[in-house]
A and B are shown apart, each in its own frame.
Chain A
Amino acid sequence: MTLDLALFLILALVAVATALGMLFSKNAVYSALFLVLNFVTVAVFYLLLGAPFIAMAQITVYAGAIMVLFLFVIMLLGAERLPATNVLPWQRPLAITLTVILAMESTYLLLSRARPSGSVLPPGAEVNTVDNLRAMAMTLFNNYLLPFEVTSVLLLVAMVGVIVLVRREKGQKS
Protein backbone atom coordinates (compact mmCIF):
# COMPACT_ATOMS: atom_id res chain seq x y z
CA MET A 1 0.00 0.00 0.00
CA THR A 2 1.41 3.23 -1.08
CA LEU A 3 1.28 6.36 0.91
CA ASP A 4 -1.10 7.85 -1.62
CA LEU A 5 -3.49 5.09 -1.18
CA ALA A 6 -3.28 5.15 2.57
CA LEU A 7 -3.94 8.85 2.58
CA PHE A 8 -6.84 8.37 0.22
CA LEU A 9 -8.36 5.64 2.29
CA ILE A 10 -8.11 7.58 5.49
CA LEU A 11 -9.61 10.65 3.95
CA ALA A 12 -12.31 8.60 2.27
CA LEU A 13 -13.15 7.05 5.60
CA VAL A 14 -13.39 10.46 7.16
CA ALA A 15 -15.56 11.74 4.32
CA VAL A 16 -17.97 8.84 4.54
CA ALA A 17 -18.00 8.96 8.32
CA THR A 18 -18.77 12.66 8.41
CA ALA A 19 -21.42 12.21 5.76
CA LEU A 20 -23.02 9.47 7.80
CA GLY A 21 -22.68 11.67 10.84
CA MET A 22 -24.62 14.34 9.11
CA LEU A 23 -27.18 11.83 8.05
CA PHE A 24 -27.80 10.37 11.46
CA SER A 25 -27.32 13.28 13.85
CA LYS A 26 -30.48 14.02 15.70
CA ASN A 27 -29.43 17.60 16.14
CA ALA A 28 -29.38 19.77 13.07
CA VAL A 29 -26.44 21.71 14.39
CA TYR A 30 -24.37 18.58 14.60
CA SER A 31 -25.43 17.66 11.16
CA ALA A 32 -24.26 20.97 9.85
CA LEU A 33 -20.95 20.64 11.61
CA PHE A 34 -20.46 17.15 10.25
CA LEU A 35 -21.16 18.50 6.82
CA VAL A 36 -18.59 21.21 7.28
CA LEU A 37 -16.09 18.53 8.19
CA ASN A 38 -17.06 16.58 5.15
CA PHE A 39 -16.61 19.60 2.91
CA VAL A 40 -13.22 20.21 4.33
CA THR A 41 -12.24 16.62 3.71
CA VAL A 42 -13.41 16.93 0.15
CA ALA A 43 -11.41 20.12 -0.14
CA VAL A 44 -8.37 18.13 0.84
CA PHE A 45 -9.19 15.72 -1.90
CA TYR A 46 -9.32 18.61 -4.33
CA LEU A 47 -5.87 19.58 -3.26
CA LEU A 48 -4.68 16.05 -3.74
CA LEU A 49 -6.23 16.02 -7.16
CA GLY A 50 -4.42 19.12 -8.20
CA ALA A 51 -7.22 21.59 -7.95
CA PRO A 52 -6.18 24.14 -5.38
CA PHE A 53 -8.47 26.84 -6.68
CA ILE A 54 -11.48 24.61 -6.34
CA ALA A 55 -10.26 23.53 -2.93
CA MET A 56 -10.13 27.11 -1.80
CA ALA A 57 -13.49 27.85 -3.28
CA GLN A 58 -14.85 24.83 -1.52
CA ILE A 59 -13.61 26.00 1.84
CA THR A 60 -14.54 29.63 1.49
CA VAL A 61 -17.82 29.32 -0.30
CA TYR A 62 -19.13 26.03 0.88
CA ALA A 63 -17.67 25.38 4.25
CA GLY A 64 -17.34 29.03 5.05
CA ALA A 65 -20.25 30.91 3.64
CA ILE A 66 -22.92 28.41 2.88
CA MET A 67 -22.60 26.28 5.95
CA VAL A 68 -22.39 29.30 8.19
CA LEU A 69 -25.58 30.47 6.64
CA PHE A 70 -27.11 27.11 7.42
CA LEU A 71 -25.98 27.24 11.02
CA PHE A 72 -27.23 30.75 11.28
CA VAL A 73 -30.66 29.75 10.06
CA ILE A 74 -30.74 26.77 12.39
CA MET A 75 -29.96 28.94 15.32
CA LEU A 76 -32.32 31.62 14.20
CA LEU A 77 -35.22 29.28 13.86
CA GLY A 78 -34.26 27.29 16.89
CA ALA A 79 -35.02 24.21 14.94
CA GLU A 80 -32.26 21.93 15.98
CA ARG A 81 -34.53 19.09 16.80
CA LEU A 82 -37.88 18.00 15.54
CA PRO A 83 -40.45 16.35 17.69
CA ALA A 84 -40.62 12.67 16.88
CA THR A 85 -43.48 11.86 14.62
CA ASN A 86 -43.85 8.99 12.29
CA VAL A 87 -46.37 9.80 9.65
CA LEU A 88 -44.56 7.85 6.97
CA PRO A 89 -43.69 4.54 8.55
CA TRP A 90 -42.60 2.87 5.35
CA GLN A 91 -40.55 5.77 4.10
CA ARG A 92 -37.43 5.01 6.09
CA PRO A 93 -36.96 1.32 5.32
CA LEU A 94 -37.90 1.87 1.74
CA ALA A 95 -35.55 4.79 1.41
CA ILE A 96 -32.66 2.91 2.94
CA THR A 97 -33.29 -0.11 0.76
CA LEU A 98 -33.45 1.97 -2.36
CA THR A 99 -30.38 3.95 -1.45
CA VAL A 100 -28.43 0.81 -0.79
CA ILE A 101 -29.55 -0.55 -4.11
CA LEU A 102 -28.53 2.71 -5.73
CA ALA A 103 -25.10 2.56 -4.14
CA MET A 104 -24.67 -1.07 -5.14
CA GLU A 105 -25.84 -0.43 -8.65
CA SER A 106 -23.57 2.51 -9.20
CA THR A 107 -20.59 0.77 -7.60
CA TYR A 108 -21.18 -2.27 -9.73
CA LEU A 109 -21.59 -0.26 -12.86
CA LEU A 110 -18.61 1.97 -12.18
CA LEU A 111 -16.20 -0.70 -11.01
CA SER A 112 -16.98 -3.73 -13.05
CA ARG A 113 -18.64 -2.43 -16.16
CA ALA A 114 -17.80 1.17 -16.96
CA ARG A 115 -14.28 1.15 -15.58
CA PRO A 116 -13.20 4.72 -16.11
CA SER A 117 -9.58 4.33 -17.07
CA GLY A 118 -6.55 6.16 -15.86
CA SER A 119 -5.23 7.37 -12.57
CA VAL A 120 -5.36 10.69 -10.96
CA LEU A 121 -2.28 12.84 -10.94
CA PRO A 122 -0.05 12.56 -7.97
CA PRO A 123 -0.18 15.44 -5.58
CA GLY A 124 2.13 18.22 -6.45
CA ALA A 125 2.16 17.58 -10.13
CA GLU A 126 2.73 20.35 -12.61
CA VAL A 127 -0.86 21.56 -12.77
CA ASN A 128 -0.51 23.00 -9.37
CA THR A 129 1.46 25.93 -10.52
CA VAL A 130 0.51 29.54 -10.58
CA ASP A 131 0.77 29.46 -14.35
CA ASN A 132 -1.82 26.90 -14.53
CA LEU A 133 -4.02 28.82 -12.22
CA ARG A 134 -3.69 31.75 -14.55
CA ALA A 135 -4.45 29.57 -17.50
CA MET A 136 -7.55 28.43 -15.77
CA ALA A 137 -8.60 31.97 -15.12
CA MET A 138 -8.09 32.72 -18.78
CA THR A 139 -10.29 29.79 -19.69
CA LEU A 140 -12.91 30.95 -17.31
CA PHE A 141 -13.08 34.36 -18.88
CA ASN A 142 -12.73 33.28 -22.45
CA ASN A 143 -14.31 29.96 -23.20
CA TYR A 144 -16.52 30.06 -20.14
CA LEU A 145 -17.44 33.69 -20.32
CA LEU A 146 -21.05 32.95 -21.03
CA PRO A 147 -21.68 30.65 -18.10
CA PHE A 148 -19.81 33.05 -15.93
CA GLU A 149 -22.00 35.94 -16.91
CA VAL A 150 -25.13 33.88 -16.66
CA THR A 151 -24.12 32.80 -13.21
CA SER A 152 -23.88 36.40 -12.23
CA VAL A 153 -27.41 36.94 -13.45
CA LEU A 154 -28.40 33.88 -11.54
CA LEU A 155 -27.02 35.27 -8.37
CA LEU A 156 -28.89 38.48 -8.99
CA VAL A 157 -32.07 36.55 -9.54
CA ALA A 158 -31.50 34.61 -6.37
CA MET A 159 -31.07 37.84 -4.52
CA VAL A 160 -34.25 39.27 -5.92
CA GLY A 161 -35.97 36.08 -5.08
CA VAL A 162 -34.85 36.09 -1.53
CA ILE A 163 -35.97 39.64 -1.12
CA VAL A 164 -39.33 38.86 -2.59
CA LEU A 165 -39.73 35.92 -0.31
CA VAL A 166 -38.72 37.52 2.90
CA ARG A 167 -39.57 41.17 2.60
CA ARG A 168 -42.71 42.14 4.34
CA GLU A 169 -45.05 44.23 2.26
CA LYS A 170 -46.68 47.20 3.77
CA GLY A 171 -49.93 46.22 5.34
CA GLN A 172 -49.14 42.58 5.05
CA LYS A 173 -49.47 40.42 8.09
CA SER A 174 -46.89 37.81 8.74
Chain B
Amino acid sequence: MIPVEYYIVLSAILFAIGVAGVLIRRNALIIFMSIELMLNAANLAVVAFSSVLKTFSGQVFVFFVIAVAAAEVAVGLALIVEIFKAKHSIDVDQMSSLKG
Protein backbone atom coordinates (compact mmCIF):
# COMPACT_ATOMS: atom_id res chain seq x y z
CA MET B 1 0.00 0.00 0.00
CA ILE B 2 1.65 3.14 -1.19
CA PRO B 3 0.67 6.30 0.64
CA VAL B 4 -0.84 8.86 -1.66
CA GLU B 5 1.76 11.42 -0.61
CA TYR B 6 4.33 9.61 -2.63
CA TYR B 7 2.37 10.09 -5.77
CA ILE B 8 1.66 13.65 -4.96
CA VAL B 9 5.28 14.41 -4.31
CA LEU B 10 6.24 12.68 -7.52
CA SER B 11 3.72 14.75 -9.39
CA ALA B 12 4.99 17.86 -7.73
CA ILE B 13 8.52 17.09 -8.83
CA LEU B 14 7.42 16.40 -12.37
CA PHE B 15 5.45 19.61 -12.31
CA ALA B 16 8.47 21.53 -11.11
CA ILE B 17 10.58 20.01 -13.86
CA GLY B 18 7.94 21.09 -16.33
CA VAL B 19 8.02 24.58 -14.94
CA ALA B 20 11.78 24.62 -15.14
CA GLY B 21 11.55 23.54 -18.76
CA VAL B 22 9.36 26.48 -19.58
CA LEU B 23 11.75 28.82 -17.91
CA ILE B 24 15.10 27.63 -19.14
CA ARG B 25 14.53 26.31 -22.61
CA ARG B 26 14.48 28.66 -25.54
CA ASN B 27 13.04 26.25 -28.01
CA ALA B 28 9.34 26.99 -28.27
CA LEU B 29 8.61 23.33 -28.93
CA ILE B 30 10.40 22.20 -25.82
CA ILE B 31 8.68 24.87 -23.77
CA PHE B 32 5.48 23.52 -25.12
CA MET B 33 6.46 19.99 -24.20
CA SER B 34 7.29 21.17 -20.73
CA ILE B 35 3.82 22.54 -20.39
CA GLU B 36 2.50 19.16 -21.42
CA LEU B 37 4.65 17.67 -18.70
CA MET B 38 3.08 20.03 -16.18
CA LEU B 39 -0.39 18.96 -17.22
CA ASN B 40 0.72 15.38 -17.06
CA ALA B 41 1.99 15.84 -13.55
CA ALA B 42 -1.31 17.31 -12.54
CA ASN B 43 -3.10 14.38 -14.12
CA LEU B 44 -1.00 11.96 -12.15
CA ALA B 45 -1.98 13.69 -8.95
CA VAL B 46 -5.65 13.63 -9.86
CA VAL B 47 -5.60 9.96 -10.68
CA ALA B 48 -3.81 9.19 -7.45
CA PHE B 49 -6.34 11.15 -5.46
CA SER B 50 -9.09 9.55 -7.40
CA SER B 51 -7.75 6.19 -6.48
CA VAL B 52 -7.67 7.06 -2.81
CA LEU B 53 -11.10 8.58 -2.83
CA LYS B 54 -12.52 5.75 -4.90
CA THR B 55 -14.35 8.00 -7.32
CA PHE B 56 -14.49 8.30 -11.07
CA SER B 57 -14.76 11.99 -11.22
CA GLY B 58 -11.03 12.40 -11.02
CA GLN B 59 -10.50 10.19 -13.96
CA VAL B 60 -13.11 12.04 -15.89
CA PHE B 61 -11.30 15.24 -15.14
CA VAL B 62 -8.08 13.76 -16.42
CA PHE B 63 -9.85 12.68 -19.54
CA PHE B 64 -10.95 16.23 -20.20
CA VAL B 65 -7.54 17.58 -19.49
CA ILE B 66 -6.05 15.28 -22.07
CA ALA B 67 -8.66 16.28 -24.60
CA VAL B 68 -8.19 19.94 -23.99
CA ALA B 69 -4.43 19.51 -24.15
CA ALA B 70 -4.84 18.02 -27.55
CA ALA B 71 -6.79 21.02 -28.71
CA GLU B 72 -4.24 23.33 -27.26
CA VAL B 73 -1.40 21.48 -28.89
CA ALA B 74 -3.03 21.79 -32.26
CA VAL B 75 -3.32 25.52 -31.97
CA GLY B 76 0.08 25.87 -30.40
CA LEU B 77 1.88 23.93 -33.05
CA ALA B 78 0.09 25.85 -35.74
CA LEU B 79 1.31 29.05 -34.19
CA ILE B 80 4.84 27.77 -33.95
CA VAL B 81 4.82 26.69 -37.54
CA GLU B 82 3.47 30.02 -38.62
CA ILE B 83 6.10 31.90 -36.71
CA PHE B 84 8.84 29.68 -38.05
CA LYS B 85 7.71 30.54 -41.55
CA ALA B 86 8.31 34.17 -40.84
CA LYS B 87 11.36 34.10 -38.64
CA HIS B 88 12.96 30.79 -39.49
CA SER B 89 13.52 30.20 -35.84
CA ILE B 90 11.58 28.86 -32.97
CA ASP B 91 13.77 30.46 -30.38
CA VAL B 92 11.38 32.28 -28.12
CA ASP B 93 14.08 34.72 -27.19
CA GLN B 94 13.94 35.96 -30.76
CA MET B 95 10.38 36.99 -30.21
CA SER B 96 11.03 40.03 -28.15
CA SER B 97 10.20 42.92 -30.38
CA LEU B 98 7.30 43.81 -28.13
CA LYS B 99 8.57 45.06 -24.83
CA GLY B 100 8.83 47.93 -22.43
Q: How large is the interface on A (under 10, 10 to 19, 20 to 34, 35 or more residues)?
A: 35 or more
Please name the residue on chain B nearest to A81 by beta carbon. Answer: B27
> Footprint of B on A, CB under 8 Å?
2, 4-5, 8, 12, 15-16, 19-20, 22-23, 28, 31-32, 35, 38-39, 42, 45-46, 49-51, 53-54, 57-58, 61-62, 65-66, 69-70, 73-74, 76-77, 79, 82-83, 85, 87-88, 91-92, 95-96, 98-100, 102-103, 106-107, 110-111, 115-122, 127, 132, 135-136, 139-140, 143-144, 147-148, 151, 154-155, 157-159, 161-162, 165-166, 174
A162 to B82 alpha-carbon distance, docked (Å): 10
Within 8 A of A (CB), among B58-82: 59-60, 62-64, 66-75, 77-82
Interchain CB contact under 8 A, B70 and A19: no
Q: Is the CB of A140 within 8 A of B63?
A: yes
For the complex, would chain B's binding face be called helix, strand, loop or mixed by DSSP majority?
helix
Tell me if B56 and A111 are in contact (CB < 8 A): no
Chain B interface: which size bin? 35 or more
Q: Fill in one digit per residue for B15-26: 1 if any A CB lies within 8 Å of its CB, else 0.
A: 111111101111
Query: Cβ of B4 and Cβ of A116 under 8 Å apart?
Result: yes
B98 at interface by CB-CB < 8 Å: no
Closest 3 CB pairs of A and B: A95-B23, A158-B71, A103-B16
